[in-house]
Structure 1
């Protein structure tokens, strides 16, 4: 399997958001021992996203291979020309193909095309590969806090992008 075998769509179909919630709960439970609270957190965020969804300002990137969702990320508009990156995930078998880099490039392209001036995201200290990808696109760690929100001790990290990175 190669990157070219994977299609990426930007339309939301019935079942997509529920599936993304399900896969987040399942994968993060298996890989990081996150509890059901994480899945409900993702569900609440997806509900918030869809309630305010505006295709001119918001975007989903849904990766599919053989009619199966294998990756996802979204850009959610916030106030003051700010965007939030949320729910970035890749199925384990699809990691290392360059799909994460492609999704970040698509996110950044839409971010600049729509005139956003800043972006942010929250992640945990355990997701170092994702953090590395964010940093390559100009995001900087701006806040860290201890949390037990996902039924285990983690450090939640906020990354912000407030200027156009020189390497983009």
Structure 2
């Protein structure tokens, strides 16, 4: 069995992080999903929205680094009506399948619960089966789907909500 690469996770935003998140998304989604440059631009615009609304008491980032380079990311963004949005969940290919994504989701859920949010949601696209499986294991359920041609390719966009277990 291959030794997993060393990595660390931090919860602070530092100069250069927002650009690295956009670049990582642009690279991974171009290679794996054939998304065009418009997807990276969308990520950049929405990261700016996050930055402008950032409140360290309500929002949190998880930056995964290895050898001084960002290799993964996810964030919790506060939304109106005491809701939280999960955004930008990504791991470079060589870091998948080693439990890092599960750890990030568990930490995300812990922060969500500690801040007493009343609901959570996320948007994704069909075909990201490992991520969808992880979301479902954490209690998210697919609510709706919509066909689109965003980012230069035919997509099935999906909307998930967190469903509190009884």
| SS of corresponding position for 1:126 | coil
Deviations 1:39-92 (A, max 9, x none): 111111100000000000000000111211111000000011100000000011
1:92 aligns with 2:93: yes
CA distance in 2, matches of 1:153, 1:91: 23
Unaligned 5+ residue runs, structure 1? none
Q: Is the 8 A contact 1:140 1:161 kept in 2?
A: yes
CA distance in 2, matches of 1:49, 1:75: 10
1:2 aligns with 2:4: yes
1:123 aligns with 2:124: yes
1:149 aligns with 2:166: no
CA distance in 2, matches of 1:110, 1:2: 26
Q: Is the 8 A contact 1:117 1:162 kept in 2?
A: no
Q: How does 1:44-55 map to 2 (within 5 A)?
A: 44-55=45-56
| SS of corresponding position for 1:150 | helix
Q: Is the 8 A contact 2:124 2:158 kept in 1?
A: yes
Q: Is the 8 A contact 2:24 2:71 kept in 1?
A: no
Query: What is the Cα-based RMSD across aligned positions, in Å?
Result: 1.1
Q: Is the 8 A contact 2:143 2:159 kept in 1?
A: yes
| SS of corresponding position for 1:19 | helix
CA distance in 2, matches of 1:162, 1:95: 26
Deviations 1:134-158 (A, max 9, x none): 0000000001000111111000000
CA distance in 1, matches of 2:91, 2:53: 25
1:162 Cα deviation after fit = 3.8
| SS of corresponding position for 2:152 | coil
CA distance in 1, matches of 2:107, 2:87: 14
Q: Is the 8 A contact 1:7 1:64 kept in 2?
A: yes
